[in-house]
Chains A and B, each alone.
Chain A
């Protein structure tokens, strides 16, 4: 298991929180909550060590698109980058629903 942390500048506040996914094989669990500052914090615990670059690329892209001031917690059990992006998009959908 490896723990990773990322931070981004963000401009859009959110008012809700969202929970999607499960820390099961090939999948991940995401918890998103509003962040008081105009920043985004991401804490990841992943079962697959050594993929920091990949996570950074996926998250860079996510925050370029959404720009949300949120705290994100991810519990990952070997999800592929595609699955991670889908789950993040799903979480945003829940935030906005």
Chain B
């Protein structure tokens, strides 16, 4: 492992070799390695052979002489999927790096991401771990650049594409891909005319490294070369800590979306002329474009679909028309609640949405950026006063699946929303997620999972999961009955809210509340619970550590806890 320079290709290295290749020579020290045998406790139960390191390598060492941690995912094991243990290893490593930086030790984090996203066999374990990874990155980014490399050949997908988008600097090769929904999933959900998953040229010209670099989604394009990536990582580490990560640049990216007309076709090469690196981005243009976009949004406003998200928004705020200037599918209003002043945000269906793939309440491009805008407005408005609470009313069937969505960076739109909520939480705003319907996948990562506390209605139609049962069956090549059998053994793969509650991340399950037709007494109950939760949050930590302390978590996420304890013990040894 000491003679990394002899090998040219970075992509062909395994995860361990990749980690060693970006560290200063001969400084690689693996923690939680294969002989610690922290394998997935959930795979063998499903007759899948586990791996001794669960597919993630955590390496301590040095970068330019500074303390560093390199996190490398092994794409060859289960497609680099994030399960409970592999996810906890990444989160725990970032949390330790954060602790170092908070304590004055500059530990530099580097992520080498080769991953299909959540490992479907472990469902919500992956989702929760990714939220914790993202929380740690947003915190860590304030102290030190968080550097991410997507070299390929797997690429970086699903919730982990949102993770990549939250990093300070993103380095890609031409072979690398970055996208929220894989082409196969889009083809399944939206049809082959939307996205032909066999068309490799189409795929790379949409989400490949070069396209991402040329259209402003990646910072550095490198060739598949160990020495070049070694240098690119060092350059990225030397940069100033950016207060304006890409996922925080709301006005800029909304104004980019303003020049897109979803009723006309757009492809990779056209986008390079619209959003290319050589396009000057004039601030005065930004404002004018935003005004135009707001006009378009006003014209497409409808409120004829009474989703749960809308019903509960109206019930809690007393407001039926949201007037905050964003996409009409994102409702936002401020209302008094006891002694608190609260901002409520809810994503709702809009049959006239300018993006056809986001008409059923999905979190799409406009939605992700609009949520980010509404949350960041709050942070800015309250920066010198009492931080108002933010309640995310969650009823999101999924992120929007579409060709346009991937091309225009839905992973970044979701990251923007997650970033905003996490930043609000860190700034001292109590952030509460209130689950009234679906809370699925990337949409839930964007809208809800960065909250200090999660409340949910105890109702059969309140569902938390990574993918629809049908799609999960196709991707894992199992029938629905088999999936249900697994769900009985491993609650993290079930869909119902009570199974999710058994993982310990839910603050409270609200029983006996009518989810569809809430009476005044139901609304009062919910309001009371929200007030209590806000006051509890005001006097507790601003990170997500509370998700691992409940009695449910001790049992339901025992492996997540064990990984953290053992990683901490090996961190400096």
B33 at the A/B interface (Cβ < 8 Å)? yes
Cα–Cα distance between A43 and B74 once the two chains are bound (Å): 23
Q: Which residues of B contact A77 (CB under 8 A)?
A: 49
Q: Which residue of B lies closest to A21 (CB)?
A: B14
Closest-CB distance, B47 to chain A (whole angstroms)? 4
Chain B residues 333 to 366 lying within 8 A of chain A, measured CB to CB, are none
Closest-CB distance, A35 to chain B (whole angstroms)? 14
Partner of A19, one of B34, B44, B74: B34
Known contacts A1-B47, A33-B35: A19-B52 contact under CB 8 Å: yes
Cα–Cα distance between A47 and B33 once the two chains are bound (Å): 23
B48 at the A/B interface (Cβ < 8 Å)? yes
Chain B residues 31 to 48 lying within 8 A of chain A, measured CB to CB, are 33-35, 44, 47-48
Secondary structure at the B interface, as helix, strand, loop or mixed, is loop
Partner of B77, one of A1, A22, A46, A76: A22
Known contacts A31-B52, A75-B50, A76-B49: A23-B35 contact under CB 8 Å: no
Q: Which residue of B lies closest to A17 (CB)?
A: B35
Closest-CB distance, B7 to chain A (whole angstroms)? 16
Known contacts A22-B14, A31-B34, A33-B35: A47-B76 contact under CB 8 Å: no
Cα–Cα distance between A24 and B14 once the two chains are bound (Å): 11
Interface string of B9-25 (1 = CB under 8 A from A): 00000100000000000
The answer to whether B34 and A47 touch across the interface, beta carbons within 8 angstroms, is: no
B51 at the A/B interface (Cβ < 8 Å)? yes
Chain A interface residue count, Cβ-Cβ cutoff 8 angstroms: 18
A27 at the A/B interface (Cβ < 8 Å)? yes
Q: Which residue of B lies closest to A26 (CB)?
A: B76
Known contacts A17-B35, A31-B35: A22-B76 contact under CB 8 Å: yes
Closest-CB distance, B112 to chain A (whole angstroms)? 15
Interface string of A72-89 (1 = CB under 8 A from B): 010111000000000000
Chain B interface residue count, Cβ-Cβ cutoff 8 angstroms: 15
Known contacts A1-B47, A19-B34, A45-B44: A29-B52 contact under CB 8 Å: yes
Q: Which residues of B contact A29 (CB under 8 A)?
A: 34, 51-52
Q: Which residue of A lies closest to B76 (CB)?
A: A24
Q: Which residues of A contact B76 (CB under 8 A)?
A: 22, 24-25, 27
Cα–Cα distance between A51 and B77 once the two chains are bound (Å): 22
Cα–Cα distance between A13 and B47 once the two chains are bound (Å): 34
Cα–Cα distance between A1 and B43 once the two chains are bound (Å): 10
Q: Which residue of B lies closest to A24 (CB)?
A: B76
Known contacts A31-B34, A33-B35, A45-B44: A22-B49 contact under CB 8 Å: no
The answer to whether A19 and B35 touch across the interface, beta carbons within 8 angstroms, is: yes
Cα–Cα distance between A73 and B48 once the two chains are bound (Å): 16
The answer to whether B49 and A23 touch across the interface, beta carbons within 8 angstroms, is: yes
Known contacts A19-B33, A25-B76: A73-B49 contact under CB 8 Å: no
Closest-CB distance, A28 to chain B (whole angstroms)? 9
Cα–Cα distance between A24 and B48 once the two chains are bound (Å): 11
Q: Which residues of A contact B33 (CB under 8 A)?
A: 19
Chain A residues 5 to 40 lying within 8 A of chain B, measured CB to CB, are 17, 19, 22-25, 27, 29, 31, 33
Cα–Cα distance between A24 and B15 once the two chains are bound (Å): 13
Chain B residues 463 to 511 lying within 8 A of chain A, measured CB to CB, are none
Closest-CB distance, B486 to chain A (whole angstroms)? 14
Cα–Cα distance between A5 and B556 once the two chains are bound (Å): 31
Partner of A22, one of B35, B44, B48, B51: B51
Q: Which residue of A lies closest to B47 (CB)?
A: A1
Closest-CB distance, A22 to chain B (whole angstroms)? 5
Most chain B beta-carbon contacts within 10 A, residue among A22, A25, A73: A22
Closest-CB distance, B534 to chain A (whole angstroms)? 46
The answer to whether A22 and B74 touch across the interface, beta carbons within 8 angstroms, is: yes
Cα–Cα distance between A27 and B76 once the two chains are bound (Å): 9
Q: Which residues of B contact A17 (CB under 8 A)?
A: 35
Closest-CB distance, B229 to chain A (whole angstroms)? 21
Partner of B44, one of A1, A25, A31: A1
Cα–Cα distance between A75 and B34 once the two chains are bound (Å): 12
Most chain B beta-carbon contacts within 10 A, residue among A17, A25, A29, A73: A29
Closest-CB distance, A33 to chain B (whole angstroms)? 7
Interface string of B145-175 (1 = CB under 8 A from A): 0000000000000000000000000000000
Known contacts A22-B74, A22-B76: A75-B52 contact under CB 8 Å: yes
Q: Which residues of A contact B74 (CB under 8 A)?
A: 22, 24
The answer to whether A23 and B34 touch across the interface, beta carbons within 8 angstroms, is: no
Q: Which residues of B contact A27 (CB under 8 A)?
A: 76
Interface string of B129-147 (1 = CB under 8 A from A): 0000000000000000000
Closest-CB distance, A14 to chain B (whole angstroms)? 14
The answer to whether A47 and B49 touch across the interface, beta carbons within 8 angstroms, is: yes
Cα–Cα distance between A23 and B47 once the two chains are bound (Å): 14
Cα–Cα distance between A22 and B34 once the two chains are bound (Å): 11
The answer to whether B52 and A24 touch across the interface, beta carbons within 8 angstroms, is: no
The answer to whether B35 and A75 touch across the interface, beta carbons within 8 angstroms, is: no
Q: Which residue of B lies closest to A47 (CB)?
A: B49
Closest-CB distance, A8 to chain B (whole angstroms)? 22
Chain B residues 367 to 405 lying within 8 A of chain A, measured CB to CB, are none
14 other A-B residue contacts (CB within 8 Å) besides A23-B50, A76-B49? A1-B48, A1-B49, A19-B34, A19-B52, A23-B49, A23-B77, A24-B77, A31-B35, A31-B52, A45-B44, A46-B49, A75-B49, A75-B52, A77-B49
Q: Which 9 A-B pairs have the closest CB atoms?
A: A24-B76, A1-B47, A23-B51, A19-B34, A22-B76, A45-B49, A47-B49, A75-B49, A24-B77
Instruction: Write the residues of chain A forming the contact surface with B, with a CB cutoff of 8 angstroms.
Output: 1, 17, 19, 22-25, 27, 29, 31, 33, 45-47, 73, 75-77
Instruction: Write the residues of chain B forming the contact surface with A, with a CB cutoff of 8 angstroms.
Output: 14, 33-35, 44, 47-52, 55, 74, 76-77
15 example contacts (A-B, Cβ-Cβ < 8 A) are as follows: A17-B35, A19-B33, A19-B35, A19-B52, A22-B14, A22-B76, A23-B77, A24-B76, A29-B34, A29-B52, A33-B35, A45-B49, A47-B49, A75-B49, A75-B50
